[in-house]
Amino acid sequence: MTPLVELQHIEIHGHSVGYRSGGSGPVIVLIHGMAGSSATWRLVMPVLAEHFTVVAPDLVGHGESEKPRGDYSLGAFASGVRDLLLALGHERATFVGQSLGGGVAMQFAYQFPERCERLVLVSSGGLGDEVNVLLRLLALPGAELVLPLACTNWLHDAGVRVAGWAAKIGLHTSPHLTELWQSYGSLADAKTRTAFVHTLRSVVDVTGQRVSAADRLYLAAEVPTLIIWGDHDSIIPLEQGRAAHSAIPGSRLEIFEGTGHFPHCEHPDRFCNVLIEFMNTTSPSTTSASQWRDRMLARST
Looking at residue 141, what is its pLDDT? 81
In what order do the strands lie in the sheet containing 7-12? 7-12, 15-22, 53-57, 27-31, 93-98, 116-122, 225-230, 252-256
The Cβ of residue 233 has, within 10 Å, a number of other Cβ atoms equal to: 22
What φ, ψ does residue 300 adopt, rounded to 5°?
A: -85, -5
The stretch 108-124 carries a mean pLDDT of: 95
pLDDT surpasses 60 at 130: yes
Examine the residue annotation and report whether 157 is marked as an active-site residue of this protein: no
Q: What pLDDT is recorded for position 186?
A: 66
Which residue among 32, 186, 233, 285 is the active-site one?
233
73 is catalytic: no
Residue 83 annotated to the active site:
no
pLDDT band at 147 (very low <50, low <70, confident <90, very high): low
The CA-atom distances, in angstroms, between 147 and each of 143, 242, 278 are 6, 34, 40
Mean pLDDT (whole number) for 198-218: 87
Handedness of CA 168, 170, 171, 175 (dihedral sign): positive
Reported pTM? 0.88
The answer on pLDDT for 164 being more than 60 is: no
CATH (residue range 7-131+211-300): 3.40.50.1820
pLDDT in tens, 58-97: 999 999 999 998 899 999 999 999 999 999 999 999 999 9
Which of 99, 183, 186, 285 is flagged as catalytic?
A: 99
Q: pLDDT at position 94, please?
A: 98
Nearest to 256 by CA among 241, 270, 246: 270
Selecting among 32, 62, 176, 261, the annotated active-site residue is 261
